[in-house]
Amino acid sequence: MFYDPKFKRKMKKLTIYIAKHRHSTLTSSESRPCSNCTKKIKQLGIKKIVYVDKCGNIQKCLSQNYFSNHICPGYKEYIKKNIHVD
């Protein structure tokens, strides 16, 4: 599926918007993609990423220029439990 030429052409035009919402404060929170999500975004060939940084500012960038060494809490749990996820 990821190697289908039509699929690849469509993905190169897409922008992914990443948002998180805090129920406790009713506001948005930092939503930068973690290293695992970044890897998948790049594998899929998604063109742009839009997210909220830790200061609350909206950030836009080309996925090829984005880097993250952040590991989200979900993947930290996988690591603790020695579960391998691709």
Query: Which contiguous run of DSSP H or E holds residue 47?
Result: none
Residue 72, domain member (yes or no): yes
In whole angstroms, give the CA distance from residue 21 to residue 57: 14
Residue 86, domain member (yes or no): no
Q: How far is CA 23 from CA 18, 33, 48, in A?
A: 17, 20, 27
Residue 85, domain member (yes or no): no
Across the range 51-58, mean pLDDT stands at: 90
Residue 50, domain member (yes or no): yes
pLDDT of 70 > 60? The answer is yes
Task: Provide the number of structural domains found in the chain.
Answer: 1
Task: Quote the pLDDT of residue 58.
Answer: 93
**Reported pTM:** 0.77
pLDDT of 74 > 90? The answer is no
Please say whether the beta carbons of 20 and 31 come within 8 A.
yes
Range of the domain at 20: 5-80
Q: What is the pLDDT of residues 11-42, one digit of tens each?
A: 888 999 998 877 776 666 789 999 999 999 99
